[in-house]
Amino acid sequence: MNSATPPDPAARTAAPSAQPEIPVVDVRQLLGEGREIVLMHLGEAYRLRITARERLILTK
């Protein structure tokens, strides 16, 4: 029989993260006055656009 206390789940989430903070970029910084841009990733073009309902769509 094991009498050890189970680990506290809160202790796992309270530890500082080893990952760097994720940068936050406002979409308007990327798009400026426009509604779409082309992003290049590993030689592939991706189109980021704002729809008529003000949602974002990223397509290849």
Mean pLDDT, consecutive 10-residue segments, the chain of 60 residues?
58 66 95 96 98 97
Residue 19 pLDDT: 85
Q: Which helix (H) or strand (E) covers residue 28, if one does?
A: helix 27-31
CA 30 to chain centroid, in Å, comes to: 15
Residue 52 pLDDT: 97
Residue 3 pLDDT: 58
Query: How far is Cα 8 from Cα 13, in angstroms, rounded to an integer?
Result: 10
Query: How far is Cα 56 from Cα 36, in angstroms, rounded to an integer?
Result: 9
Instruction: Output the pTM of the full model.
Output: 0.62
Beta-carbon contacts of 46 under 8 Å, excluding residues fewer than 6 positions away, are 38, 39, 40, 58, 59, 60
